[in-house]
Chains A and B, each alone.
Chain A
Amino acid sequence: MPEITYSITFYLMAAIAVAAALGVIILRDVFRAALSLILLFMTVAGIYLLLHADFLAIVQILIYVGAISVLIIVAIMLTRDARQGQPLGKIKWVAGIVALALIGVIAWGVINTAFYLSSTPPLEETVKPLGNLLFGNPGYMLTSEIAAVLLLSAILGAIAVIREK
């Protein structure tokens, strides 16, 4: 991809991502805020694509847009007065100070980190190396198996909690 197309795409994605992120916290209507969050997820996937991480981008859409956002929307369905949003509580000053401090810490961290650029060319085919790493022989076979067991126990736990006596 030529340099100029790359830059234009990146700044477009970045601008939409920032706007969408602001929308999530500014919008009153909880449903619109959730849609804004989904837009944010999609632009982040676009930025992954620009970084040649195509598998990560697709999985971002599949998991975050296709699954997590559905969870959020179902939660909104169970909320009353979703359109008015929640009025600010008594602790808004405390919350504001904590949020500002958090922004400060993150900004300080980003500014003071030296980011290294990799000079190795991106992989043409990303799926096979990833699969070999996850399930191959020296790889992360054990951890991915443990993750599967963890998920299974979470499902069983959820069933045990909601089961009628």
Chain B
Amino acid sequence: MTLLDEFQLFLKTLGWPDWAYYSVPALTGIVIIVAAVLTIVIVFIWWERRLLGRFQIRLGPNRCGPEGIFQPIATAVKILLKEDIVPAKADKVVHFIAPIAVFVPVLMVFAVIPFDKAAILVDLNVGAIYIIAISSLSMLAIFMAAWASCNKYSLIAGLRAIAQMVSYELPVVMSLVGVAMMASSLSMVKIVEAQTLPFILLQPLGCLIFFLGSLAEMNRCPFDLLEADSEIVAGYHTEYSGMKFALFYLGEYGVAFVYAAVITTLFLSGWQGPFLPPVLWFLIKVFLVFTLILWMRATLPRLRVDQLMTFAWKFMLPMSLINLIVVAIEILLVPASLQWVMIVINFGLAAVLILLFSRMFTFGGGRVEV
């Protein structure tokens, strides 16, 4: 029973009418989630700017408040005050809807993220597929923005978005299937409860593939070809300014938060942990995953388009298929008391497969040799 259900029962005992005790807790939950997500996203923005500063041996924003903590708020105010420019030949309606359509799916995904056993908006029994389905909506929104801008650079970014997300969705779903099989459920709460050992130990390869695939899905470095500023200006949001641009910006960090939360739930045993309260454990893990994402951005150079496609189809997809089959066989053959055998086998397998595949496809020189 979630907190919202309890709230609902409480209102029912107070004698509220049917429609009220049903809709008031739902709306309350939505407002709380939106507020929490926006707050955490603002913290993430500050953390990213500060940490990137450290990585690049400079200070980063440190003037506004202690350690520059108020810098994101100052940035937000500045963006709000900027003029909203719409190109003359743009498709005005679609140009207006696109930033909203980017941001809404991000918030929708949080409906099934369990911050705690009870702190979840709704524990869908199809939670894991819900996340995949809803996050595929933002790809369409990016394409809407790219098309409506009537700008060739935006359009190229839109095409890249479609190619990239269609390719990387496959390995992501494949590694999610492995988790669902092991937990024998698609509900997010049950997946967390099934993890007496975090699934990152039982399925290291699946976790790695999911992490890399979700980096590509959220268009972060090294997969940020959509906004490769040396080639296509700012990609799909070249023609956006003011609050509309801010929505894209927030959406980008929101997606990073979503995937950090999903990885925490699927592979890092979610809210579970000793001593500290569950919500705090969840946030700590999310923060660690986000820092890892940031580290990737600071360290790795951007891939080329052909390298990106090769990496998805010839490297990640076969590995995720092999991982899926191996996990399925292990679930059938290895008894629950011998989980350490599984850990040893899977770590060995991951190492062997990665070595083998990196030998088969070298990314050296100027071109991909297959």
B-binding residues in A (CB < 8 A): 1-5, 29, 31-32, 35, 38, 54-55, 58-59, 61-62, 65-67, 69-70, 73-74, 77, 83, 124-127
Contact = CB atoms under 8 A, between A and B. Distances in A.
Interface stretch (B136-144, B199-207, B228-236): B136-144
Interface string B19-62: 10011000000000000000000000000000000000000000
Binding site of B, secondary structure by majority: helix, strand, loop or mixed? helix
B247 to A, nearest CB: 18
Contact of B23 (A5, A62, A66, A126): A5
Contact of A29 (B91, B124, B126): B91
A65 B140 contact: yes
A62 B133 CA distance: 4
Given A55-B129, A61-B133, A126-B126, 17 more contacts: A2-B19, A4-B18, A5-B18, A31-B94, A32-B94, A35-B94, A35-B144, A54-B125, A58-B133, A62-B132, A66-B133, A67-B166, A73-B162, A124-B125, A126-B125, A127-B126, A127-B185
Contacts of B132: 62
A55 B186 CA distance: 11
B166 A54 contact: no
A162 B32 CA distance: 52
B370 to A, nearest CB: 16
19 contacts: A2-B18, A3-B18, A4-B18, A5-B22, A29-B91, A35-B94, A55-B126, A58-B129, A58-B130, A59-B129, A59-B133, A65-B140, A66-B139, A70-B140, A73-B140, A73-B143, A125-B125, A126-B125, A127-B186
Contacts, number: 69
A79 to B, nearest CB: 12
Contacts of A5: 18-19, 22-23
Contacts of B129: 55, 58-59, 62
Given A54-B124, A124-B125, A127-B186, A70 B22 contact: no
Nearest to B163: A74
Contact of B93 (A32, A38, A70): A32
A116 B18 CA distance: 27
A109 B162 CA distance: 40
Given A35-B94, A62-B133, A69 B140 contact: yes
B308 interface: no
Contact of A61 (B134, B147, B159, B162): B134
Interface string B139-176: 11001100100000000000100100010010000000
Interface of B: 18-19, 22-23, 91, 93-94, 124-126, 129-130, 132-134, 136-137, 139-140, 143-144, 147, 159, 162, 166, 169, 185-186
Contact of A74 (B18, B94, B162, B186): B162
Contacts of A67: 166
B91 A32 contact: yes
A112 B198 CA distance: 57
Contacts of B22: 1-2, 5
A123 to B, nearest CB: 9
B112 to A, nearest CB: 11
Given A3-B18, A31-B147, A38-B140, A70 B133 contact: no
Nearest to B132: A62
Contacts of A58: 126, 129-130, 133
